[in-house]
Structure formats: C-alpha cells, structure tokens
Amino acid sequence: MKKRVMEVDYDYENDILFAFLDDEYYKDYEYSEFLDKSVSIDFGKKTIPIGVEISNASVMFKTKKQYLKDILSGAVYISINGKKIELTVNLFVIVHNKPISLNPIDLVGDNILNVPNVETSMAIV
C-alpha cells in the first residue's frame, strides 16, 4: 500500500470538501468515479487516485459546517477490488479549542468504470 500526502480545501458556502494530491499529480487527471450522489474519486492516467470530492460535507460527516473550516488532519483510504470501490475518510477538526475526530465517511460503491485493483492510503495535512 502506497502512502501519499493530500491537501484539503473546504468551500464553506457550497459545503464541498476537496482532498487532493498536489498539482504535479493533477496534471495527469483522467476521470472521476462517483460512489454516490455526494462523493467522487478523481483518478490520474495510471488509474491512481489523486483526489476525493465530498458534496454536502457537513451532512456526510454529521457535523456543523463551521467545524470543517478548522481541519487539523485526516486520512483517506481507498481499496478497489473487482467490482467494488471502498472509501473511508477520517477527519480531525478543532471544536471549542480541542481536537475532535469527526464521524468517518465509509462508503462502498460499484466499480462501474472497471478501475483496476488498487489499495492506497493518503494523509490529509
């Protein structure tokens, strides 16, 4: 399993969280695979996951939007095996001046585009 570091950007107004590898990886963006109506994974040309977009992020993490403005760290885990894609996203945020772990997002979706098998974890900083 290969580990990479992701950056995170939260759009408060639209409640969208975007965790992504740096521009060096994004220059090879190829396509996105949607796991459900709110979550998609971006892939590069070599079918490497390079980003995750989460719409309605506060709903998905079961938290207030204001807490997503103060993300300390987190992790993204992606496993693609056969016909399924599994995604787990964990975030640590500041709530009342204390670090708190939010409810993780755990999704399993169909591998509609037949993405090759891959397993990766990425730290969010």
Q: What is the pLDDT along the chain (125 residues), one digit of tens a residue?
A: 455 788 999 999 999 999 998 777 778 899 999 999 999 999 998 888 999 999 999 999 999 999 999 999 999 999 999 899 999 999 999 999 999 999 999 999 999 889 999 998 999 88
pTM: 0.90
Is the distance from CB of 122 to CB of 21 less than 8 angstroms?
yes
Q: Which residues does 46 contact at the CB level (< 8 Å), separation at least 6?
A: 28
What was the pLDDT predicted at 3?
A: 59
What distance lies between CA 51 and its chain's CA centroid? 6
Any long-range contacts for 98-106 (C-beta under 8 Å, 24+ apart)?
99/72, 100/67, 102/61, 102/62, 102/63, 102/67, 103/61, 103/62, 103/63, 105/39, 105/54, 105/60, 105/61
Backbone angles phi, psi at 71, to 5 degrees: -80, 125
What was the pLDDT predicted at 68?
A: 96
| Element housing 103 (H / E) | none
| Tokens 């892939």, located at residue | 43
